[in-house]
Amino acid sequence: MIQQNAYNIFLNFLNGVIRSENLNDTVEKLEKFVKKTSPHARIFVSVNNQYENEFEILPAISGENRKNIHELMQFMQGKNLTKFKGNYSEIGFREFPNFTNDRYIVYGTYDIENGISCAMLASYPLDSDIELISEFSDLIFPTLWSVFTERYKRMIDSKESEILWKIRTAQHSDSDSGLNTIELNQLLENLLELAMRKMKLRCGCIMLLNEATGELEFEPRAIRGKSLVTPEAAKLSLKTAKSIAAVVISENRPYICNDTENDENYYPFFHGTKSDLIVPIEFQRRAIGLIDLEAPEKDYFTQEDADEISALAGEATMFIRRAQLFKESSEKGNAIMIMGTSDKWKALEKRIEKASNTDATVILRGESGTGKELLAHAIHFNSPRKNGAFVTLNCAAIPAELLESEMFGHVKGAFTGAYTNKIGEFERAEGGTIFLDEIGDLPLMLQVKLLRTLQSGEIRPVGSDKGTKKVNVRVIAATSRDLETMVKERKFRMDIYYRLHVVPIHIPPLREYRNDIPQLVNNFIKAANAAYKTKVSGIDDAALKILMDYDYPGNVRQLKNFINQAVIMSDDQMITPEDLPPEVFRNEHYGTTADSDFSPHDGESYSAAKERIMEQFSVNYFSEILKQSGGNHALAAKKAGISRVALYKILSKYGLEKTAAESQY
């Protein structure tokens, strides 16, 4: 019968571990209470991944002692012991501090979930009350495993949320080079990790389809488990190899195999697989890759599992395509990065996905600087014409008398200076896509000729007396002009208006998805660092708030310009309000308007004008912050995203101490 004193200690232990915040805290509380009965006791817990033989030792320790404990835990596992009580000398492992032959050992194991087990190892001096320790451990183990399992699942739920967040914001990582091949791999690694956690597995992979070769390619960082695949054979031909993967890609549907030994389509990727679930990564109603999850037990997967992993794959598809676009465009020397994550952008990209899979004419409508050319590239990349040319023609940048020749070409002698035949941009785009930017600036005469090309797919070079030429080109147009008003004013033909508006796509201005600004800013800082060889690491809260409140008539292009200026002007690792251009302070949020005195005074230098405008902004901004904070300096500093010391300096610099005092009453 356990003694009353020990029982009270156990109740205290139970009360403590129930309040523990995480696994490490649970073990530390356990050791603390055990030491009340045996001051020289030591306790360690390991969490073991059976597929990858990875151990996490708790509580966290380092150095030689961690190595010793790690090896001892592996040794105990190798002996297949589930429970042990006895002298350390009986184990047969070498001695080291706290684990010597004059110690008594208590050991136990527990399976938290499939593939994840934990073990506890306690060491006591032999002069301890062994009978009490033995009884005590019989009480501790069931309680510990129950709490440990609950804390572990809580940790997994938290980690799933973190991984999903990483998937959604994979293009905003801390990599110095922004979104590149490595970041695509990181995205897929996170996706696989989340899928395995949802299925409580530690074995699987992600493969993407190389549509040019028809091969499935293993992604190196998205493979977990004891793989049979070697780096030399990290591809799977869909034409020659019979496999579940080939069925999934060709039929674009999930495949559940709950008995690999009796499934004729099963092809082994990993050791010891008894059940296999493969779901497609779907884009434009076709499979562009797959998620493969494998279990060591028969009858492991259900249809609900397939539905859950399919939904996860669907959520990641947009970001995978963005990463692939960036990778391929970077290799061609013209990196295209799309970064919006708001609901408006998701809806926009869904519309682009549907339009891309056809040859329909698309017109991109939106204000200047919203990213129309980037989206035109995305449409081309996601279309069947992606391996063809992508040709851009800016209708506003070329004189009207030369524009027809640029579009359709000309023959020798067609006009003064036409010394040779010239191929037009439509012919250069044969088999691919032509992007007609600023189509609203196209002269009326050329609108008629473009209409003929859109209707018949034919062109006639300037000065040619021969028949028309047939061209196989997909047309994407863009404009920031109000075409509807231009049609009413007869400046834009109604017939070509409707020919262009087969698939209209309206791009929202930046002010309609402000929540994306912090992510955009971080990426623009990285790009500016690379371009200007600077080392700015980020932006402080006060400067970011100013950028969040600005309305951006120039949209994303204007925000990028602001960041480029700030990175160049910054004297520190962080961008502050002082680094931002004066233009950004023309905002009603800061007590300034477009009518404020932003024009330079006679003989006033740039730095003097900026200092004057900064003073105006700072006085208005911090006066308002102090009012909102009731004169509380700590709260005002927190709202402004700066330290109290920095706040005091600003108040002193602009004579705002009186304002601070008055705000308290």
Question: Looking at residue 242, which CATH number applies to its domain?
Answer: 3.30.450.40
Confidence (pLDDT) at 432: 96
Pairing type for strands 54-58 and 204-210 reads unpaired
The beta-strand segments (E) located in 544-629 are: 574-575
Left, alpha or beta for 454 (phi > 0: left; psi -120 to 50: alpha)?
Answer: alpha
Distance CA 248, CA 243 (A): 9
Query: Using an 8 Å Cβ cutoff, are 255 and 266 in contact?
Result: no
Number of Cβ within a 10 Å radius of residue 119? 19
Pairing type for strands 286-295 and 275-283 reads antiparallel
Confidence (pLDDT) at 446: 94
**128, 154, 180 - which closes a domain:** 154
Query: Using an 8 Å Cβ cutoff, are 518 and 379 in contact?
Result: no
Distance CA 390, CA 462 (A): 23
Q: Check residue 201 and report its DSSP letter.
A: -
The residues with which 539 forms a beta bridge, in sequence order, are: 575
Which of the four pLDDT bands, split at 50, 70 and 90, describes residue 603? low
Which of the four pLDDT bands, split at 50, 70 and 90, describes residue 356? very high
Task: List the structure tokens of 588.
Answer: 């009603």
Which of the four pLDDT bands, split at 50, 70 and 90, describes residue 586? low
State the sign of the Cα–Cα–Cα–Cα dihedral 454, 459, 462, 463.
negative
CATH code of the domain in which 374 resides: 3.40.50.300
Res 175 pLDDT > 50: no
The whole-number average pLDDT for the span 288-315 is 94
- 444-456 and 400-408 helices cross at what angle (nearest 10)? 10
- 644-653 and 606-628 helices cross at what angle (nearest 10)? 120
Least confidently predicted of 59-68, 248-257, 377-386: 59-68
* Residue 150 is assigned to a structural domain of this protein: yes
Higher pLDDT, 164 or 124: 124
Task: List the structure tokens of 172.
Answer: 């905003």
SS (H, E, C) 69-127: HHHHHHHHHHCCCCEEEEEHHHCCCCCECCECCCEEEEEEEEEEECCEEEEEEEEEECC
Query: Using an 8 Å Cβ cutoff, are 597 and 586 in contact?
Result: no
| pLDDT tens-digit readout, 527-574 | 899 888 999 999 998 899 889 989 899 999 999 999 999 999 888 889
Identify the residue whose tokens are 């020397």.
Answer: 333
Q: Are residues 325 and 364 in the same domain?
A: no
Q: Are residues 320 and 439 in the same domain?
A: no
Res 176 pLDDT > 70: no
Q: Are residues 103 and 218 in the same domain?
A: no
Distance CA 659, CA 652 (A): 11
Higher pLDDT, 211 or 153: 211
HSE of 394 in the Cβ direction (CA atoms, 13 Å)? 7
Number of Cβ within a 10 Å radius of residue 646? 15
State the sign of the Cα–Cα–Cα–Cα dihedral 177, 181, 185, 190.
positive
Confidence (pLDDT) at 82: 84
* Residue 338 is assigned to a structural domain of this protein: no
Res 293 pLDDT > 50: yes
Confidence (pLDDT) at 249: 93
Q: Are residues 176 and 316 in the same domain?
A: yes
Distance CA 406, CA 394 (A): 10
Least confidently predicted of 226-235, 475-484, 639-648: 226-235
Higher pLDDT, 202 or 161: 202
Phi, psi of 56 (to 5 degrees): -115, 120
Confidence (pLDDT) at 205: 93
Q: Are residues 574 and 615 in the same domain?
A: yes
CATH code of the domain in which 63 resides: 3.30.450.80
Closest by CA position to 187, among listed 303, 83, 324: 324
The residues with which 391 forms a beta bridge, in sequence order, are: 434
* Residue 526 is assigned to a structural domain of this protein: no
Which of the four pLDDT bands, split at 50, 70 and 90, describes residue 392? very high
* Residue 521 is assigned to a structural domain of this protein: no
Higher pLDDT, 660 or 599: 599
147: enclosing H helix or E strand: helix 130-168
Which of the four pLDDT bands, split at 50, 70 and 90, describes residue 13? low
Closest by CA position to 4, among listed 172, 126, 135: 135
**330, 356, 374 - which closes a domain:** 330
Mean pLDDT for the chain overall: 82
Task: List the structure tokens of 526.
Answer: 């990285």
The whole-number average pLDDT for the span 593-598 is 47
CATH code of the domain in which 599 resides: 1.10.8.60
Q: Are residues 623 and 655 in the same domain?
A: yes
Res 2 pLDDT > 70: no
* Residue 579 is assigned to a structural domain of this protein: yes
Query: Mapping DSSP to helix (H, G, I), strand (E, B) and coil, where does residue 342 land?
Result: coil
Q: What is the pTM of this model?
A: 0.64
Q: Are residues 37 and 110 in the same domain?
A: yes
Res 45 pLDDT > 70: yes
**101, 127, 154 - which closes a domain:** 154
> What DSSP assignment string belongs to 575-593?
E-GGGS-GGGG-SGGGT--
| pLDDT tens-digit readout, 489-537 | 999 999 999 999 999 999 999 998 888 898 889 888 988 998 889 999 9
| pLDDT tens-digit readout, 435-493 | 999 999 999 999 999 999 999 999 999 888 888 899 999 999 999 999 999 999 999 99
Which of the four pLDDT bands, split at 50, 70 and 90, describes residue 98? confident
In single-letter form, the type of residue at position 621 comes to Y
Q: Are residues 489 and 573 in the same domain?
A: no
Q: Are residues 411 and 469 in the same domain?
A: yes
Q: Are residues 271 and 414 in the same domain?
A: no
Confidence (pLDDT) at 495: 94
Higher pLDDT, 317 or 150: 317
Confidence (pLDDT) at 163: 52
The whole-number average pLDDT for the span 79-106 is 86
Least confidently predicted of 26-40, 62-76, 224-238, 293-307: 224-238
Q: Are residues 271 and 350 in the same domain?
A: no
Counted domains in the chain: 4
Confidence (pLDDT) at 251: 94
Identify the residue whose tokens are 């970001």.
Answer: 319
> What DSSP assignment string belongs to 497-555?
HHHHTTEEEEPPPGGGGGGGHHHHHHHHHHHHHHHHT----EE-HHHHHHHHH---TTH
Q: Are residues 178 and 323 in the same domain?
A: yes
Res 233 pLDDT > 70: no
Res 608 pLDDT > 50: yes
- In whole angstroms, what separates CA 579 from the centre of its chain? 28
* Residue 522 is assigned to a structural domain of this protein: no
| pLDDT tens-digit readout, 652-662 | 777 776 554 44
Buried b (16+ CB within 10 A) or exposed e, 593-632: eeebebeeeeeeeeeebbebbbebbbbebbbbbbeebeee
Write out the residue range of the structural domain in which residue 35 sits: 4-154
* Residue 358 is assigned to a structural domain of this protein: yes
Confidence (pLDDT) at 292: 96
Which of the four pLDDT bands, split at 50, 70 and 90, describes residue 97? confident
* Residue 528 is assigned to a structural domain of this protein: no
Least confidently predicted of 34-43, 59-68, 211-220: 59-68
